[in-house]
Structure 1
Amino acid sequence: MSNMRKRWLLAAVAAVSVPLALSACGKADKGGSADCAPYADFGKHEDTQVTMYSTVRDAEADQLTATFKDFEECTGIEIKYEGNGDFEAQIGIRVDGGNAPDIAVFPQPGLMAKFAGKLKPASEKLKSIVTANYSKDWQNYGTVNGTLYGTSFDANVKSFVWYSPKLFKEKGYAVPKTWAELITLTDKIKADGIATPWCAGIESGEATGWPATDWLEDMVLRTAGPETYDKWVKHEIPFDDPAIATALDRVGSILRNQDYVGKVSAIATTSFQAAGLPILENKCGLHRQASFYAAQWPQGTKVAEDGDVFAFYLPGDDAAKKPILGAGQFVTAFTDRPEVEAVRQYLASGVFFNERMKKGPFTTANKQADPNNATDPVIKLSMQLLRDDTATFRFDGSDLMPAEVGSAKFWKEMTAWIAEGKDTKATLAAIEAAWPK
């Protein structure tokens, strides 16, 4: 699921009404007194301007432009920032109309790849920064046909299970390290009187079904491994390959098990935003959802290891292996003026990320970012996973697939699989049939 849509969903929950194309502009503050030593590597570019365009709006945009302040003062570059909720549709129009921004932050690698012929490749200096600051997985997602175009901007981790630390302490539950331990824990929660050990919801308006696609993607990584996952996402194996059926059946061992979730069909009409809230009342024990679900808990909820809710990594069969499903945005450039190059290097540096994290919630896979700068513990946990050398990161598969599959048929068929009890084989075959020939 794209970051753009997630931001739309979170905004809807907060009942914030904003125009679709609301913009936020950043302008250099020439009156400050910044310590310029951290910015020396980016050079001096007095009285220059770089335009930057992304999906980031509202409070996030304010935090972003506040982060730019010292960089602008120290380098002389004004970053003219614009955020647009309709980025995915508008970026093509702007590029075709000769109005491409200097810097564009793409919400998915697949969309970025469509513009590879018009984007500027990374310089040798930028490549060296990216090599030092990011894992090979993140480098690869910014690369198209062997050429590095994009550098990782933000990131989120989807392989989380939310729970109540208070309940775990009261019952003596331990955080599971393997899938078998997770199922044993589920059975204990059931035996201890919680009628539905798992809570789930996949309703999301026009995007209903996307949380179920994340479930399947996580299971493919755990039951079939990252190599098979890559082949599946690229359609080098069919969508209904037996390995994918095995993974979906494992999802079904929880989501289609009425002993674990209660009325299965109700999952399709329970909103993703409200799905995990029963944890606060001990009406369910576990909820699989991404790091960004932290924004859904009611005001006053303490999200911490000793708080009202927290999250643990969704384990697989082998505790020694740690596949991580996630997503993120990528910084690219349509121009290569010296000041644009300076901004690209800055946006790939620890200098930028450490300052951005201090301004408000923000997760990054950049190795130079200090997790201690994170403003909440789930972000800190996410960063620890993203920086774990034993972990294997894979991007959300539906964001990488053709739109008619990843954000259409995949959502629809997973909804039918839950709401109607549609057969696993028939469900996957229907999605396979939608893949562009």
Structure 2
Amino acid sequence: MRTTLRPRKAVAAATATVLALALAACGSGSDGSGGPEEAGPLAGETVTVAAVWTGPEQENFTKVLKEFEKRTGAKTVFVPAQDPIVNFLGTKIAGGSPPDVAMLPQVGAIQQAVAEKWLKPVGPDAKAQLAANYSRGWQELGAVDGTQYGVYFKAANKSLVWYNSAVFDNAGAVEPKTWKEFLATAETISASGVAPVSVGGADGWTLTDWFENVYLSQAGPARYDQLAKHSIPWTDPSVTAALTTLGELFGKPSLLAGGADGALQTEYPTSVTQTFTGGDQPKGAMVFEGDFAAVNIAQTSAEIGKDAKVFPFPAVGGGAAPVVTAGDAAVALKDSKGAQALLAFLASPDAAGIWAAEGGFLSPNKNLDPATYPNDVQREIARALIGAGDDFRFDMSDQMPQSFGGTPGKGEWKALQDFLKDPKDITGTQARLEADAAKAYRAGTKG
């Protein structure tokens, strides 16, 4: 189905405000050429932005907000949010102090917030930027029942395996293309004296990513879509097959850094840094996760493209190599000029380019110049994402009710942590997954 484009005059008119904001930056600043920054079109407005980002992610997003301030004269305030952010927003709304804008990391969270009548539709300026810069698939992920609410600012390619090149060289290992080859490579590395796979099992979301990549490749896109909507149960034979496949890795403690117990005590950031710390004798040789792992790799002495390399998640069972994506969408909780202007700015290549240049970031904005990314590895990851067009699948757990697919210690996160601890209990894992999913979807229907 082709995207229906708005008339060219309407797009041009809707873009005018965003362009005016960009031009305002040229006439403002501290060099005395155009007056103080507060003289912009949004002077006197304060825009509060809630997100769960911390550390380098928060720092880099703040740079984006600072540029918005420079261009508009508005003041921005970053509001640290707790995960799950929907619960955090609910508390803020109940207290009468919602932020102007929030960054929601799940499609399901957008749908829940719309059902609660918390969100405001995006305005014409943001719609114009989306039409010009985003594929149909990324636009639709931010829409509910045909109404656009979200602007996907930050994306992720969650079908990548990063590896320590020195360990691979010492072991004589090569990049695998299939799951069978992946397991063989793991055995080769294990024989060389290094634990092959680092798993951040203390963060349940990493385990959902493992499952989704295996499931998408092995079961196929149609089944993936059905399971994401819970139109087939978690007791389906396709889930049995995927857990059986995953158990081929999780069921061999020698292939996991620290074994299953160690993996369950390892948080995601550590799972990455321990792969690239210790030269050719790290705690783990490979770590599966998205392009955003570059942020954590940067905290080590490893150089991306030299010491830290990457290959696509291997194809499973004769299926195609999976492409699972995720992302954070900006949504407006207040119908203010500042909130709408920020959504429009975040949908522009200029905003994406600020964070892209810092690394550890991937944009779905097709008009962002790949040269903006800091190294060839990230440029190739970005080209692959944009080149996929609409031929990708969004993170399954992020499409589900947050109580099932996005809450620490509950639902899918907890069930897969229990599975990592006991990968032989496939039937019990499926039963728990189905019971929790059915409860969450029933609650979502009532809501």
Find the counterpart in structure 2 of residue 130 from structure 1: 130
Amino acid at match of 1:424: I
Amino acid at match of 1:425: T
Find the counterpart in structure 2 of residue 253 from structure 1: 248
Find the counterpart in structure 2 of residue 220 from structure 1: 215
From 395, 411, 427, give the equivalent of 1:425. Answer: 427
Amino acid at match of 1:256: G
Instruction: State the SS of the aligned residue for 2:303.
Output: coil
Instruction: State the SS of the aligned residue for 1:175.
Output: coil
Find the counterpart in structure 2 of residue 67 from structure 1: 64
Does the 8 A contact of 1:57 with 1:85 survive in 2? no
Find the counterpart in structure 2 of residue 24 from structure 1: none
Q: Deviations over 1:155-203 (max 9, x none)?
A: 223222121223444555442334344345445545xx32566323344
Aligned pairs, how many?
398
Distance 1:171 1:129, change over 3 A: same
Write the distance in 1 (CA, Å) between the matches of 2:371 and 2:138: 22
Deviation at 1:411, TM superposition (A): 2.6
Write the distance in 2 (CA, Å) between the matches of 1:172 and 1:195: 13
Q: Deviations over 1:258-304 (max 9, x none)?
A: 56448854355441444453564166543323333344458542232
Equivalence map 1:18-417=2 (5 Å): 31-33=29-31, 44-57=41-54, 59-85=56-82, 87-116=85-114, 117-169=117-169, 173-189=173-189, 193-194=191-192, 198-204=196-202, 207=203, 209-257=204-252, 260-261=255-256, 265-272=260-267, 273-275=269-271, 277=274, 280-281=280-281, 285-297=285-297, 299-307=299-307, 309-317=308-316, 321-359=320-358, 361-375=360-374, 379-389=378-388, 392-406=391-405, 407=407, 408-417=410-419
Distance 1:175 1:364, change over 3 A: same
Write the distance in 1 (CA, Å) between the matches of 2:33 and 2:222: 46
Instruction: State the SS of the aligned residue for 1:369.
Output: coil
Deviation at 1:339, TM superposition (A): 4.1
Write the distance in 2 (CA, Å) between the matches of 1:298 and 1:304: 8
Write the distance in 2 (CA, Å) between the matches of 1:378 and 1:359: 14
Instruction: State the SS of the aligned residue for 1:154.
Output: strand
Amino acid at match of 1:104: A
Q: Deviations over 1:319-374 (max 9, x none)?
A: 99453223221111133344433222111000111123335643222212233322
Distance 1:105 1:177, change over 3 A: same
Distance 1:34 1:142, change over 3 A: farther
Deviation at 1:246, TM superposition (A): 0.9
Does the 8 A contact of 2:198 with 2:257 survive in 1? no
Structure 2 stretches of 5 or more lacking a match?
1-24, 35-39, 443-447
Write the distance in 2 (CA, Å) between the matches of 1:203 and 1:317: 22
Does the 8 A contact of 1:152 with 1:365 survive in 2? yes
Find the counterpart in structure 2 of residue 19 from structure 1: none
Write the distance in 1 (CA, Å) between the matches of 2:424 and 2:319: 34
Instruction: State the SS of the aligned residue for 2:93.
Output: helix
Instruction: State the SS of the aligned residue for 2:182.
Output: helix
Does the 8 A contact of 1:199 with 1:261 survive in 2? yes
Amino acid at match of 1:211: T
Distance 1:77 1:416, change over 3 A: closer
TM-score by length of structure 2 reads 0.76
Q: Deviations over 1:82-141 (max 9, x none)?
A: 333464433112223443332222232222222223322123442232133223332222
Write the distance in 1 (CA, Å) between the matches of 2:346 and 2:332: 11
Write the distance in 2 (CA, Å) between the matches of 1:424 and 1:318: 18
| Identity value in percent | 29
Once structures 1 and 2 are overlaid, which stretch shifts more, 421-430 or 358-367?
A: 358-367
TM-score by length of structure 1 reads 0.78
Amino acid at match of 2:79: E
Deviation at 1:151, TM superposition (A): 0.5
Does the 8 A contact of 1:268 with 1:415 survive in 2? no
Write the distance in 1 (CA, Å) between the matches of 2:399 and 2:363: 20
Q: Deviations over 1:228-266 (max 9, x none)?
A: 112112211101211111111111122213564488543
Structure 1 stretches of 5 or more lacking a match?
1-27, 37-42
Distance 1:34 1:304, change over 3 A: farther
Does the 8 A contact of 1:268 with 1:419 survive in 2? no
